Structure 1
Amino acid sequence: MELRHLRTFVAVAEERSFSRAATRLRTAQSAVSRTVQALERELGNPLFARTNHHVELTKLGHATLDTARAALAAAEAVHAAARRTCSGSVCG
């Protein structure tokens, strides 16, 4: 599982739209769809119920959203700690 998969999932969940998520992520809608499909394959079930004009979280999507947000926040905390620790110097 990659952080970009989680970022894309969270964007679609928050925007409730693949096209708005693509705009937010500055990428193509087809890339958003492929990324979400890859995550769904990895998890073994759909995260979204899709229609032509509507995207809704499934039970798995709801259960996954808070954990995905927490994982992204934890990854950002690692980056922030590294920046604080090694700012302006090479850390070894």
Structure 2
Amino acid sequence: MEELVLKAPRSDEAIFGVTKKGNPVLIFNGYRYNKDSRSTGPKKRWYCTKSGCRANVHTIFESIVDNVHTFFFGGRCETVKTRFYLAPRI
């Protein structure tokens, strides 16, 4: 049986997942992004989930290639509390 340990994600580590409704979600640098529905192929564009924020992230094959997170509209963006996840011990 494989032993599992708790591992806190690094702030610069991209965490890909899905919402309760099955939609793709990305957590990067403490911010949450939803995938642009028009993104096709290996390159994906992700938008910040906070209303009024224009921040976006571009990924290719789940690797971050561009990240723009500037604070417009009085800094409405807040970092999300990322939960710990289980990772196999190596």
- Higher relative contact order (CA closer than 8 Å, sequence separation 6+): 2
Q: Which has the higher strand share?
A: 2
State if a TM-score over 0.5 links the two structures: no
TM-score tier by shorter-chain length is: under 0.3
Larger Rg: 1
